[in-house]
Chain A
């Protein structure tokens, strides 16, 4: 055989290979060359992009101007207590300029607002100073509850509920009424509020002391739930009401419904009886008696129940 005889064979083979490896894949959209038919051009594999870290909170400008409020309340031992609260006007003004969340489920954020936290920690320490005796813990807790219960009640639609004497810009019109959930320091500066304001303030104060609380939302009311093991004191003339959330018991705590009377007919002085933990029967609200409230945790983060990857066997008898 001579070279001139081999050349056509080689040329034929070359044509076949070109058709097989270039022309046909190009026509069918397959990868050119010896690559797998399964490999498609999909770019680089994705990479994980970490999230941004916790930002440093923007400090509230402190121009020295403050609101000063004096509170007077009856403590659990029957003694009258007083305390003074000062809040920077800049912080209060900042809250008033902040839009409100329309979803009730996010109202726990108000109680945990980082800007309010130092004021709540300071106030909580003054109302309920740390006690060496563990038995005194209940009295600390109740003093905080009683303090909040004795802040005068005022509806959101009343201009008297706000120091400006007018509804704030971000008051929300919902269900034929007005809703304006206040940040804790707003309630303190206004010196009054409605049920959700009291529940939010109480939740903020108790959280500052390390208690686990939730908001209990009814169709026309909001109260607080506090996590306790078993609470059934011998002196209670009621069955303490609690709700189960995340496997824990949260006992009902009323924030506003302070029972009071005038000391005498001609006196503006009042005396009264705060509501105890678990006492839901005395509020007189039908919704509290009949409804199961929506439980609003202060700290909400999305927590999926299902998230496990199931290992798949590999083809070719692999594992």
Chain B
């Protein structure tokens, strides 16, 4: 039987497999120059990995404190802008105002309250999102609490202005009393913040609030 032409009948025929020739692999020869090149590449690779890892996992503490500082600074600048408007409002004499002028005066109060509420909410988001070193966590928390209290105080002011608009002066007075309380809590939180900051930067012990 011709192995290349198996007969269609008379049993199973296995075709002949061609001969496979495995070529000889070239022999690897490493020169000194090539070895040094590979080692250099490995060293560079490790260096890049270390630098990338540093970027990947953390900013330095200085960078974090610097960002925290700039955010507190921006917040303080805006808060003092609000305070400038409050001071002007409080200095205005209401002794001889007409009813229309009283209404306009209270609209100004509401505008300041709205501005203060928005400013505190804005900076609260930024400061709360700051990644700070562990030593600064207490100061960050106290400052966020201060902004929260201030935000509440301005919200009560807005409610007082709203109560004035519907001529419910008793409700306006109640809201002002709540706002006064929130302002005092804000002042206490700022005192806490200063204490925590001193502890973080000077290593002083934080006395109980």
- Chain A positions within 8 Å of B, measured between CB atoms, are 1-2, 5-6, 8-9, 12-13, 16-17, 19-21, 24, 36-40, 42-43, 45-55, 57, 101, 103, 105-106, 109, 112-114, 117, 212, 299-318
Contacts and interface: CB of A to CB of B under 8 A. Distances in A.
Contacts of B108: 50-51
B55 A310 contact: no
Given A5-B37, A310-B186, A302 B176 contact: yes
A315 B196 CA distance: 10
B183 A57 contact: no
B164 to A, nearest CB: 6
Interface in B1-31: none
B69 A310 contact: no
A299 B97 contact: yes
A45 B78 contact: yes
Q: Classify the interface of chain A: helix, strand, loop or mixed.
A: loop
A51 B104 contact: yes
Contact of B167 (A19, A20, A109): A109
Contact of B83 (A5, A19, A308, A314): A308
A20 B86 CA distance: 46
A152 B86 CA distance: 47
B117 to A, nearest CB: 9
**Most central of B127, B129, B132, B173 by chain A CB within 10 Å:** B129
A17 B53 CA distance: 9
Given A1-B37, A314-B72, A318-B69, A48 B111 contact: yes
A38 B69 contact: no
Contacts of A299: 94-95, 97, 102
Instruction: Name the 3 nearest CB pairs between A and B, nearest first.
Output: A16-B52, A38-B130, A306-B183
A232 B59 CA distance: 76
**Most central of A2, A301, A308 by chain B CB within 10 Å:** A301
Interface residues of B, number: 94
A19 B56 contact: yes
Contacts of B132: 38
19 contacts: A2-B37, A6-B41, A9-B48, A21-B55, A36-B59, A37-B131, A38-B126, A38-B127, A38-B131, A46-B122, A48-B112, A54-B101, A55-B104, A106-B167, A300-B164, A302-B176, A304-B179, A310-B187, A313-B198
Contact of B52 (A1, A17, A103): A17
Interface string B102-122: 111111111110110011001
Given A46-B119, A101-B167, A106-B167, A301 B68 contact: no
A21 B104 CA distance: 52
A314 B140 CA distance: 11
B193 A312 contact: yes
A17 B186 CA distance: 43
A302 B100 contact: no
Contacts of A21: 55
Nearest to B114: A49
A38 B68 contact: yes
B165 to A, nearest CB: 11
A316 B64 CA distance: 10
Contacts of B114: 49
Interface string B176-188: 1001100110110
A21 B173 CA distance: 53
A114 B130 CA distance: 53
A49 B52 contact: no
A314 B71 CA distance: 9
Contacts of A43: 122
A237 to B, nearest CB: 34
Nearest to B143: A312
Contacts of B100: 54-55, 57, 114
B67 A36 contact: yes
Given A46-B122, A312-B193, A315-B197, A106 B99 contact: no
Given A12-B48, A17-B55, A302 B40 contact: no
